[in-house]
Amino acid sequence: MINITYLDSETKKLVHDASIDKISELKQKNIIWADIKDPNHESFLKLAKEFSFHQLSIEDCLTGHQRPKIEEYPGYYFIVIYESALFGEHNNLQLRELNIFLGANFIVTVHSHSIDAINLVSRLWPEWLSRGDVGVGTGTIAYLLIDAIVDNYMVILDQLSDSIDDLEDKMFTDFQPTLIEEIFRVKKQLLYLRRFISPLRDVLNVMLRREQPLFSSETYVYFQDVFDHSIRVADTIDSLRDILSSIMDVYLSISGNRMNVVMKRLTSISTILMSVTLIAGIYGMNFDLMPELKWRYGYTYALSSMVIVGLSIYFYLRKIKWL
């Protein structure tokens, strides 16, 4: 499925649902945004031929699963970025790939999954055009897309931060062995986010170097703002990972302390039983010259000794808080 919108150079108004057959004519004077929801659709290859996309960038787009990057080709940039989202009961992380072909008067977005930033920018672009204080070129669309995706990372991090706060509360109020699984799950999500946000700074760096004069000077100020946001996202991820590492240390410490308590109790019980067994062992040797063997109260004496010794050790262990 393809959706083509262009900014008419004469009327300065947006025209939606343009025909792909008119691209040759429209690209001469107008600013075109083509959004393709299936890279394997024939319309993508037709557009690629129309805008003379390099075969390597086409191949990367069709293959998918690329790392976030930017590649410079004659007349355009090929950009790969990822939108993030949490879904499901356990806040599972989903990363959706977005490919952008960015030229001076055209921008082609290609994706296999629904991209929330696309829908947002479709609403924002007309508003920015009405303001009249910023550039109206493809750089504005690219900025709005990347800015929406980077800002969404902060929303995701806020949700993960809430999850980390819950883990901290459970650590001291409702300690469960399954907490370690939740800690590793959140830590893995942060690792994935870090892996995809770090290359994004390189993408913005290349665009800010202005090696290809594709945008107006006003647009670069906005890309600098997105660059600052990406740094803040990366710093936030690092901070949350440090907090998780601290929680992991606390978990191991609490687990060790709980194990020590169990070992103390087992040791205490063993000590009581050993003392009682010692008395039983002595009077179980059956030597002929043991005077207590033929004593009338010998059995009662032995049992009493076991009880007295056992209780004495028990109260002593209670006093030193081993029981």
pTM above 0.85, yes or no: no
Q: What is the pLDDT of residue 303?
A: 87
| 235 burial via Cβ count (<10 Å: 0-12, 13-18, 19+) | exposed
- Domain boundaries 2-255, corresponding CATH code: 3.30.460.20
Specify the CATH superfamily of domain 260-319: Magnesium transport protein CorA, transmembrane region (1.20.58.340)
Percent of the chain with pLDDT over 70: 97
| Whole-number Å distance between alpha carbons of 318 and 173 | 25
Q: Report domain extents, the chain.
A: 2-255, 260-319
For residue 279, which amino acid is it? I
Q: What is the pLDDT of residue 147?
A: 92
Q: What is the pLDDT of residue 177?
A: 79
Scored b (16 or more CB within 10 A) or e, 78-117 reads: bbbbbbbbeeeeebebeebbbbbbbbebbbbbbbeeebeb
The number of helices, as runs of H, and strands, as runs of E, in the chain is 8, 7
Identify the band that residue 233 occupies on the pLDDT scale cut at 50, 70 and 90: very high
Identify the band that residue 133 occupies on the pLDDT scale cut at 50, 70 and 90: low
Identify the band that residue 48 occupies on the pLDDT scale cut at 50, 70 and 90: confident
Q: Count other C-beta atoms under 10 Å from residue 36's C-beta.
A: 24
Q: What are the pLDDT digits (tens) for 236-255?
A: 999 999 999 998 888 888 88
